[in-house]
Amino acid sequence: MSTFTPPTFDMLAKILEEKFGVLRDDIKPDTLLEDIELDSLALIEVALTLQKQLGVSIPTEDLNSGGTVADLHELVNTAAGKAR
């Protein structure tokens, strides 16, 4: 049986807060990534951090900085799910 747990929204929010200095109150599902000044490399950095925490490989081809925090959450969850 797999012990895989999908990255929760809080897990993602914690990374954005601790690694990128985004204020917790600014991290809502509909927050635009560009509004919290996450550039395209930051998305890769988030994925790499989650990759280490979850112990799975997360392909990042589909990540882009045009969406919202919820979009990022979904993409990472899907990618992590496929990588199981």
Partner 1 sequence: MRAAVIGGIGSWLPPGLVSNDDLADRMDTSDAWIRTRTGIRTRYFVPPGMPTSRLAAEAGARALESAGTADADAVVLATTTPDRPCPASAPEVARRLGLTGVPAFDVSAVCTGFLYALTAAAGMIASGAAEQVLVIGAEAFSTIVDPHDRSSAVVFGDGAGAVVLRAGDPGEPGALGRIVLGSDGSLADLITVRAGGSERPHPEADPGRSDPADRYFSMRGREVFQHAVTRMSQSAREALAHTGWRPGDVDRLVGHQANLRILHAVAEQLDIPVERLVVHLDRVGNTAAASIPLALAHAHATGDLVPGARVVLAAFGGGATWGATALTWPSLKAA
- Binding positions for partner 1, 36-55, rule CB under 8 A: 39-41, 44-45, 47-49, 52
Figure out which of the listed residues 36, 60, 71, 83 binds partner 1, where binding follows CB under 8 A: 60
Residue pair 27/35 in contact (Cβ under 8 Å)? The answer is: no
Residue whose CB is less far from partner 1, 29 or 53: 53
CA torsion sign for 78, 42, 22, 34 is negative
Under rule CB under 8 A, residue 62 binds partner 1: no
What is the dihedral sign for C-alpha 40, 45, 51, 53?
Answer: negative
Residue numbers of the site for partner 1 (CB under 8 A)?
A: 39-41, 44-45, 47-49, 52, 57, 60-61
